[in-house]
Amino acid sequence: MNKPFIKKPVVINLRNKIIPICAIFLTGNVWALDLEGAFYKAQQYDPQYQAAKAERNANKAQAGQGWSSYLPGFSYSRQQLPTLFGTNVTSSVSQPIFDAARGAAVAQGGPRSQFADSNFSSQSQDLAQRTLAAVNQIILVNEAISANQGQIDALKFQTDGAQRKFDLGQGTITDLLDVRVKYEQAKANDLTLKANLKNAKDQFAAITGEYPDASDFRLPNKHDRFTVETLDVILDKVKNNNPSILSAKANEKIAQYEIAKASGANLPTVSYVWQKTTYSGVPSTNNGVAVTIPIDAPSFFNTYATYAKAEQSKSIREQTELKAKVDAQKYYDLIEAGQETIKIKAQAMDTAKQSVTANQKSYEAGVKSTTDVLIAIQTLFQARNDYAQAVTSQAANLLGLLLISAEESNGAIKQTQQFLFSK
């Protein structure tokens, strides 16, 4: 949870009226919801993620079905027909000895189980990215609202001052109308931004089942540099452990065994059969080897179809590997550039604060005008917005790099949390 980070606000004194400038730099209270908490709630609520859980169970069941293909089968039937003068009861047990199709189904059990796990990991990663995207949107809209509110306060004061000057004959109607237009525009922007905030909260609630409080997801004033592993290490993890690649590899193996299943459907099968029949109370028992020779034309065409699907799965696996490698390199490069970008944006924000102070002093000395002070204020808030954009983009890139290099979703969210809401 975030602890309060309170920094003495810069203030503007325009003819003895105090206007707070840096109130937007305060973070939420110690009970504010953080990124880890949001992700936990999303794991319990998000409908798409709940569907992924059910899908994993279904895939696991298919793996179990494949593993059980070579187990013996048992059948029981009881018949009592008008044409019979007694009851016919038949029990039989059949144990496959040679069945190529069943053997291929058994072999598919491992890849199907691996696909179930890796595909679910991919769904968990998707949820992590969707959660961060929802949080980032709330952060950016809150920053924009705070910035715009600061401009409203400053423009309100300037409007009042321009009105007084006009009433005293010291100002022009043009000056009054110009500042009034800016003031009204800022108020209109506030309505739009608040509508955007509601939409962002709706998106967040759709994932987590809960609306965030006003104090949630407030950025601190400073974000420290962080280190990531070398690109070679990351690419090695991507190659061997990336869930999307593992899913594609599992699908490729499943498709290859499908060829064996389709081909095996045209081969003879050998089974041991034990059968007991009771008719009108008279039992008889038989056992022996049963050989079945299938002749089924559609099975031959199905074999060619499975060959084509196997080639398709191979191409998809190669495409997935290439995309994961390119994305990892992209995230790595963006993070490297983002480290410097955040540093520069932070320096720009500090410079903007100093500019506000300098313009205020010059205004009090009669060197600068009110407009100069207001421009400096607007620049400060724009610098803060630019900083927030840089930080949230860096958080998204960090999470993307961690996930694509097969970091467990909860661990990746925790590391992103430590950067984004660092104290």
| pLDDT tens sequence across 256-308 | 998 888 888 888 888 998 888 887 777 888 888 888 888 776 777 778 888 98
Q: Report the distance separating Cα 139 and Cα 392, nearest Å.
A: 8
At 293, list the tokens: 């020779």
Residue 38 lies in a domain: yes
| pLDDT tens sequence across 1-56 | 343 333 334 444 434 444 444 443 444 344 568 899 999 999 999 999 999 999 99
In percent, the amount of the chain with pLDDT more than 90 equals 46
Class of residue 230 by CB neighbours under 10 A (exposed 0-12, middle 13-18, buried 19+): exposed
Say how many domains are in the chain: 1
Q: Is the pLDDT of residue 246 over 90?
A: yes
pLDDT band at 73 (very low <50, low <70, confident <90, very high): confident
Residue 82 lies in a domain: no
In percent, the amount of the chain with pLDDT more than 70 equals 89
Residue 290 lies in a domain: no
Q: What is the mean pLDDT of the chain?
A: 85
Class of residue 319 by CB neighbours under 10 A (exposed 0-12, middle 13-18, buried 19+): exposed
Residue ranges in 268-369 assigned as alpha helix (H): 297-364
CATH number of domain containing 324: 1.20.1600.10
Residue 398 lies in a domain: yes
Among 14-18, 322-326, 339-343, the minimum mean pLDDT is found in: 14-18
Q: What is the residue range of 255's domain?
A: 11-70+125-262+312-420
What is the per-residue pLDDT for 1? 39
At 419, list the tokens: 């950067």
Residue 283 lies in a domain: no
Residue 270 lies in a domain: no
Q: Report the distance separating Cα 103 and Cα 257, nearest Å.
A: 9
Residue 5 lies in a domain: no
Q: Is the pLDDT of residue 124 over 50?
A: yes
Residue 183 lies in a domain: yes
